[in-house]
């Protein structure tokens, strides 16, 4: 198997037959053995019926249906685990990305010996205010934090070497940062390919503007986990030590001042330095406790990928 195309979807029944025909046409004259895996993320329309119909007529089509809506990251995760291809491509089901780009991206990935190649919707057919401006700032922050020179981190169309996709652990909304997750796993050869972007033909977007706020917070999470994910005590312990030392120094100062300089009847607890010392010692202890708890959680290696499959077509 040369290529596995993974298509996560939620309530996209109107576009599926047209998308599948488009994929067939895009690979008709290509010397590539491919499969298509549709991941129905708990749709409440007739998407699963459309997938079953497509799968019955094509042996290289597969469908997986979740029992409820888990999110795009979980859909991609199960798709990666089921993929058999040497190269793995991802594609959105809304007809805004062209499957014709996939063979071109595979060739570019091979010719340049890349681990991953991400699409770049250079000319977008989205709202300028609600989509393009927030996306620009989101990608700018992602570039600064990650050091990866991509213009569109969240583009739905990407192509990976098999070992890259299989090594990525996706959870929550981390599908937006797959290039960063790949880099954290040691796959540094990441490229970009300008792709055509079509206006949405059916339905409406499933993602609200709040995703950008969550995205910025997720970037900070990724930065932290890359730096301190394996040794969180290095972060919390350093902060705890600094806070604890500040508190101890203020305590020594207060004691020395009371015994040898200001021996009046003024209470230590009436001085602001006392509260600084108290708060910093408490905060230092709390940072140490947070570090210990984080280390324990890592040792137990709690799995984040949990989903329940309702039905398969294979």
pLDDT by residue (tens digit) across 188-239? 999 999 998 887 777 666 555 566 677 777 777 777 877 787 788 888 989 9
Q: Which distant-in-sequence residues (6+ apart) come within 8 Å of 286 by Cβ?
A: 240
Residues 163-167: what's their mean pLDDT? 94
Give the residues across from 34 on adjacent strands.
Answer: 3
* Cβ–Cβ under 8 Å, residues 281 and 247: yes
Q: Provide long-range contacts, Cβ within 8 A and 24+ apart, for 310-314.
A: 310/65, 310/66, 310/67, 311/48, 311/64, 311/65, 312/62, 312/63, 312/64, 312/65, 313/51, 313/52, 313/55, 313/56, 313/61, 313/62, 313/63, 313/64, 314/55, 314/62, 314/63
* Cβ–Cβ under 8 Å, residues 102 and 91: yes
Residues 87 and 80: their CA atoms lie apart, in Å, by: 11
Residues 304 and 269: their CA atoms lie apart, in Å, by: 47
pLDDT at 301: 58
Q: Where are the domains of the chain?
A: 3-228, 232-299
Residues 76 and 158: their CA atoms lie apart, in Å, by: 12
Q: Is residue 153 predicted with pLDDT exceeding 80?
A: yes
Confidence of residue 39 (pLDDT cuts 50, 70, 90): very high
Indicate the fold that domain 3-228 takes in CATH.
Spore Coat Polysaccharide Biosynthesis Protein SpsA; Chain A (3.90.550)
Confidence of residue 299 (pLDDT cuts 50, 70, 90): low
Higher pLDDT, 299 or 44: 44
Q: Is residue 140 predicted with pLDDT exceeding 60?
A: yes
pLDDT digits (tens, 9 = 90+) for 77-122: 999 999 999 999 999 999 988 999 999 999 999 999 999 999 998 8
Residues 86 and 3: their CA atoms lie apart, in Å, by: 6
* Cβ–Cβ under 8 Å, residues 277 and 247: yes
pLDDT at 114: 96
pLDDT at 297: 77
């Amino acid at each position: 198997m040369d290529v596995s195309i993974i298509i996560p979807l939620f309530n996209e029944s109107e576009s599926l037959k047209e998308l599948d025909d488009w994929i067939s046409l895009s690979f008709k004259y290509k010397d590539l053995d491919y499969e298509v895996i549709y991941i129905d993320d708990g749709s409440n329309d007739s998407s699963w019926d459309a997938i079953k119909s497509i799968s019955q007529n094509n042996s290289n089509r597969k469908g997986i249906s979740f029992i409820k809506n888990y999110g795009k990251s979980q859909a991609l995760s199960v798709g990666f685990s089921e993929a058999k291809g040497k190269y793995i491509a991802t594609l959105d089901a809304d007809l805004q990305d062209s499957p014709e780009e996939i063979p071109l991206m595979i060739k570019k990935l091979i010719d340049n010996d890349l681990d991953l190649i991400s699409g770049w919707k250079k000319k977008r057919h989205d709202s300028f205010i609600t989509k393009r401006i927030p996306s620009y700032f989101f990608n700018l922050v992602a570039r600064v934090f990650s050091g990866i020179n991509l213009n569109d981190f969240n583009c739905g169309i990407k192509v990976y070497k098999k070992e890259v996709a299989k090594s990525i652990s996706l959870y929550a909304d981390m599908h937006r940062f797959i290039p960063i997750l790949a880099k954290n796993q040691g796959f540094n050869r990441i490229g970009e390919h300008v792709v055509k972007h079509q206006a949405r033909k059916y339905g409406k977007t499933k993602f609200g503007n709040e995703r950008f706020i969550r995205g910025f917070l997720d970037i900070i999470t990724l930065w932290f986990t890359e730096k301190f994910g394996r040794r969180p005590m290095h972060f919390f312990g350093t902060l705890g030590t600094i806070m604890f030392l500040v508190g101890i120094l203020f305590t020594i100062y207060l004691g020395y001042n009371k015994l040898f300089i200001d021996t009046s009847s003024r209470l230590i607890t009436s001085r602001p330095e006392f509260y600084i010392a108290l708060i910093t010692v408490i905060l230092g202890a709390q940072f140490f406790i947070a570090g210990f708890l984080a280390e324990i959680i890592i040792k137990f290696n709690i799995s984040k990928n949990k989903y329940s499959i309702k039905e398969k077509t294979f």
